[in-house]
Amino acid sequence: MDPESAMRHLDQLSIEVPSWAYGNSGTRFKVFAQQGVPRDPFEKVSDAAVVARLTAGVGSVALHIPWDRVDDYGLLAKHAAAEGIAIGTINANTFQDDDYMLGSVCHPDARVRDKAIAHLLECVDIMDETGSRDLKLWFADGTNYPGQDDIRARQDRLADALAAVYQRLGADQRMVLEYKFFEPAFYATDVPDWGVSYAHCLKLGPKAKVVVDTGHHAPGTNIEFIVAFLLREGMLGAFDFNSRFYADDDLIVGASDPFQLFRIMHEVVKAEAIARGGDVSFVLDQCHNIEPKIPGQIRSILNVQEAVTKALLVDQAELGRMQAAGDVLGANAVLMDAYDTDVRPLLRGWREARGIDPDPLRAYAASGYAERIAAERVGGQQAGWGA
């Protein structure tokens, strides 16, 4: 694709930012507080809107319940609209309650399972009020020791819970099921990989899709193969973009392996799956522990935009000819030519044509917003991730 066409296609990319990225977060050892951190979901939405205005790449902000619980979700949605952004995915939380020590929807005690399902249904109610399309489900459920619980029985409980929530979804709503191969369960995680998520979603029906979190795989996993397969099957519902070096997954997307991000987005571009309001939702899922909150989100958006632009520059016709001819090195060279292209000048021009600063990080630093919120957001309880 020529650069001009690539830039037009980039207009279709809309990335969702997470509300929790603007609050204080950390590791199990320490949560580091920063100045100007939001004290409520309304201030989180306002910060997300700043990122949207500076990057032209954000369409919505995801909420996490109960971290983002408010008395009037309709009012929060109106506040978001006034800021030029929408309320996006509603994320459930079934991992920060003492009752969930042995699991939530897979817990051996029916009382605990009912409590977890009630929370998931509450999240669908919130979707109704905010106009959100997607309910994202990630379960920390699993076991630490062989024999601790019945593996098959836990899958039965999971299936029953998912079915109950699926039946509650509206006509235009979906559930997207995330997986993680370990942590916090260290022996058997109940949704450990894309295959388990795929199997449950397939059984539920067309309103259930798989979430691929780029940080939730064993080292060496070919994530782009998973993406290509799920796109082929029409079962890829969403991405959670982040990055990791070892195990956890809260670093800025593209930080550890930008080439992997390019390879993933190449499969997305080939499948023509970049579209605002399309079947695949692109979401950042990051907690900035030591980075400043808003610049961390801006940097993340820029990284995704660069990877997508490079993917759009792949000469697909030439790639197809090389592949058909069995020219192994020639085909690889087509991909590498696009990846090695410095697309930053193209993106600067794209931003200027849309009336925004070509350097969003510089624009934020010059805006005075960081100083203003540090001065205004004094008193009250800073938002955090609840750990």
Token output for 143 = 């076991």
All structural domains of the chain, each given as residue ranges with its CATH number in brackets, are 14-303 (3.20.20.150)
Q: Are 264 and 224 in contact (CB under 8 A)?
A: yes
Q: Is the bond leading into 184 cis (omega within 30 degrees of zero)?
A: yes
Percent of the chain exceeding pLDDT 70 equals 99
For residue 387, name the pLDDT band (cuts at 50, 70, 90).
very low
> How far, in Å, CA of 68 to CA of 73, rounded?
10
HSE value, Cβ hemisphere, 13 Å, CA-based, for 13: 27
- pLDDT value of position 386: 58
Other C-beta atoms closer than 10 Å to the C-beta of 48 total 28
Mean pLDDT for the stretch of residues 374-378: 95
Q: What is the mean pLDDT of residues 154-158?
A: 98
pLDDT category at 98 given cuts 50, 70, 90 is very high
Contact criterion met (CB below 8 Å) for 158 and 139? yes
3-state secondary structure of 353: helix
How far apart, in whole angstroms, are the C-alpha atoms of residue 262 and residue 310? 7
Spatial distance between the Cα atoms of 165 and 103, rounded to a whole number of angstroms: 17
Residue range 358-381: mean pLDDT, rounded: 96
Q: What is the distance between the alpha carbons of residues 143 and 101, in angstroms, rounded to a whole number?
A: 10
Whether the per-residue pLDDT at 143 is higher than 60: the answer is yes
- Calculate mean pLDDT across residues 141-146: 98
Q: Is the model's pLDDT at 21 over the cut of 90?
A: yes
Angle at which helix 293-312 crosses helix 328-339, to 10 degrees, equals 140
Q: Which residues contact 15 (CB under 8 A, 6 or more apart)?
A: 57, 58, 59, 241, 282, 283, 284, 301, 304
Bridge partner residues of 184 (DSSP): none
| pTM of the predicted protein model | 0.95
What does the alpha-carbon distance between residue 329 and residue 371 come to, in Å, rounded to a whole number? 52
Q: What is the DSSP string of 249-265?
A: --BPTTSS-HHHHHHHH
* Per-residue model confidence as pLDDT tens digits over 166-183: 999 999 999 999 999 998
pLDDT, average across residues 291-316: 96
